[in-house]
Amino acid sequence: MKRVVIASLVAVLAAATAGFIADPPNTGGPKAQYWAEFDNAFGLIEGGDLKIAGVRAGTVTDLKLDPRTLHAKVGFRVTQHGFGDLRADTTCESRPQSLIGEYFVDCNPGTAKRRLAHGAVIPVQRTTSTVAPDLVGDIMRRPQRERLSIIVSSL
């Protein structure tokens, strides 16, 4: 009887060890946090998706306005293993996720040798924002159409 109990405990311990090796527990340690500066953060929300090279890798954590430059600062955290190694030439863009106005941040991790430090800001020169389709359609309405014709005729 004693041998059966000891053998059972050893088997359970071996299975638990194999499980922790295959999928280590979340230790609660700091995840990779970055900031991106956008001209326009339309449609982005806290808790929205962050994708790196098209794969969901984290979430949008903060949305702030930089009072000096009047650019939107979007904070995001990389939560998936293997995606926290962004490079100095990383580029990001806001993209529509669906037709109902949900947007997400999609980043290209870059190829530079220098790594982006945790907490670093990706400048507005390396970000792009999506123009909403309804704003493009708005150009054909009367006041905007008249303003556009004035601008085009002055060129």
The 10s digit of each residue's pLDDT in 76-94 is: 999 998 887 899 999 999 9
Mean pLDDT, rounded, for 84-106: 88
The answer to whether the pTM exceeds 0.75 is no
In degrees, rounded to 5, the angle at the alpha carbon of residue 29 between the alpha carbons of residues 83 and 44 is 55
Instruction: Report residue 49: phi and psi, to 5°.
Output: -75, 145
Report DSSP state, residue 30. Answer: P
- Does position 15 have pLDDT exceeding 90, yes or no? no
Q: Which residues contact 37 (CB under 8 A, 6 or more apart)?
A: 66, 69, 71, 72, 73, 74, 121, 122, 123, 124, 127
Sheet holding 49-52, edge to edge: 121-122, 32-38, 72-78, 55-65, 49-52, 103-108, 91-96, 127-128
Q: What is the predicted pLDDT for the residue at 17?
A: 61
Q: Give the residue from 35, 39, 34, 58 showing the smallest Cα distance to 128.
A: 39
- Does position 30 have pLDDT exceeding 70, yes or no? no
